[in-house]
Amino acid sequence: MQFPKPITIQEISKLINAEVIGNSNAVATGINELHKVEQGDLVFVDHPKYYNTCLQSNATHIIINNKDVSVPQGKNLLYCENPFEAYLTIVNHFRPFTSQTKAINEDAAIGENTFIMPNVFIGKQVKIGNNCIIHPNVSIMDYTEIGNNVVIQAGTVIGSDAFYYNTKKDRNIWYKKMQSCGNVVIKDFVEIGAGCTIDRGVTASTIISEGTKMDNMVHIGHDTFVGKNCLFAAQVGIAGATVIEDGVTLWGQVGVSKTLTIGANATVLAQSGVPSSLKGGKTYFGYPAEEANTKRRELVWIKRIPELWEKVMKK
């Protein structure tokens, strides 16, 4: 998330009650998660395991619960006891949840020749391009950006919160929500089926690129990037922060785990499960998904076990 305008570290430190170690007059341009952070951004870290990665990341300012770390030149620390709570405070300050009473927010920018059907919800600062059809009972949540010639079938949800929690099993409620402040970006000529759900990025964007088509009940997790001209059949589920390169085909009920990459023009056959990255240009099958030919041969081998048993018994 970018701030509406750059803000000094001093102001941030007051907001989250932190001590500045470095240059108080330096400005932050936004806040992002570690894997999405850019120069000028704030990042937060509360576990020693990730101190170094955060300090060495693109982040310019690090909200941290430890002062005894070596800070790279030009970077600033914001020291506080609970960086996770500091993150929530910043998000709630710059992107507070606000309800709305009208189904379509008045600040929504909707292009020419675009049809918004009845019972559609459109949140704040949503942009929708030209020649789109948004079918009934669709929910388009805050900050979503939709290009031109996009069709979204009925009942679909664009921009629901990330399923992303801070976990501590020694408290009464184990999971505390990492408040989402990112959005969903849908490019030109994308079509999305009925009853789909696309989560927004935690701090950045979930992106669906040009020409990709999804059938009904497809789920796309937060911060996932989907390339151009992909084809997802019904009931496909893709977890968070995954990269699906251009031209990938996923057949019905395929499940894809988080933070992996499926290479360009790969095809994954129906009901397969993808627990780790797959190279492009090949066809995969099964759980865990392997090259389809390998897997098919395996099925044949399984059928030969009784014959093998008999051979062994006879010897």
Q: Rounded CA gap, 315 and 297, in Å?
A: 26
In terms of C-beta density within 10 A (0-12 exposed, 13-18 middle, 19 or more buried), how is residue 31 classed? buried
**Is 38 or 291 the residue whose CB approaches a copy of itself more closely?**
291
Q: Rounded CA gap, 235 and 221, in Å?
A: 13
Site string for a copy of itself, 109-128 (x = CB under 8 A): ------xxxxx-x-------
Residue 44 CB, shortest distance to a copy of itself, in Å, is 21
Q: Rounded CA gap, 91 and 201, in Å?
A: 13
138-157 residues near a copy of itself, rule: CB under 8 A: 138-139, 141, 151, 153-157
Stretch binding a copy of itself (CB under 8 A), from 12-20, 46-54, 75-83, 212-220? 212-220
Q: Rounded CA gap, 102 and 88, in Å?
A: 27
231-270 residues near a copy of itself, rule: CB under 8 A: 231, 233-235, 237, 239, 247, 252-253, 255, 257, 270
Do the beta carbons of residue 139 and residue 121 sit within 8 Å?
yes
* C-alpha dihedral, 307 to 311 to 314 to 315, nearest 10°: -170
Tokens of 202: 């935690």
**Is 2 or 105 the residue whose CB approaches a copy of itself more closely?**
105
Provide the 3-class DSSP secondary structure of residue 215.
coil
Residue 247 CB, shortest distance to a copy of itself, in Å, is 7
**Is 72 or 275 the residue whose CB approaches a copy of itself more closely?**
275
Site string for a copy of itself, 60-99 (x = CB under 8 A): -------------------------------------x-x
Residue 154 CB, shortest distance to a copy of itself, in Å, is 4
Identified binder of a copy of itself from the candidate list 30, 40, 195, 201, rule CB under 8 A: 195
Identified binder of a copy of itself from the candidate list 70, 73, 102, 112, rule CB under 8 A: 102
Residue 89 CB, shortest distance to a copy of itself, in Å, is 17
Tokens of 92: 């709630």
Residue 111 CB, shortest distance to a copy of itself, in Å, is 14
158-187 residues near a copy of itself, rule: CB under 8 A: 160-161, 163, 165, 169, 172-175, 177
Tell me the number of residues near a copy of itself by CB under 8 A: 80
Closest among 207, 213, 221 to 258, alpha carbons compared: 221
Residue 278 CB, shortest distance to a copy of itself, in Å, is 15
In terms of C-beta density within 10 A (0-12 exposed, 13-18 middle, 19 or more buried), how is residue 124 classed? middle
**Is 54 or 150 the residue whose CB approaches a copy of itself more closely?**
150
| Local structure of residue 278 (DSSP, 8 states) | B
Q: Is 273 in the site for a copy of itself (CB under 8 A)?
A: yes
Kindly list the catalytic residues.
Answer: 222
17-46 residues near a copy of itself, rule: CB under 8 A: none
Do the beta carbons of residue 142 and residue 183 sit within 8 Å?
yes
**Is 28 or 289 the residue whose CB approaches a copy of itself more closely?**
289
**Is 160 or 283 the residue whose CB approaches a copy of itself more closely?**
160
Amino acid at 89: T
**Is 197 or 203 the residue whose CB approaches a copy of itself more closely?**
197
Q: State the CB neighbour count (10 A cutoff) for residue 120.
A: 18
Q: Is 130 in the site for a copy of itself (CB under 8 A)?
A: no
For residue 240, CA distances in Å to 250, 256, 286 come to 16, 9, 21
Q: Rounded CA gap, 228 and 247, in Å?
A: 6
Question: Element (H or E) spanning 302, and its range?
Answer: helix 292-303
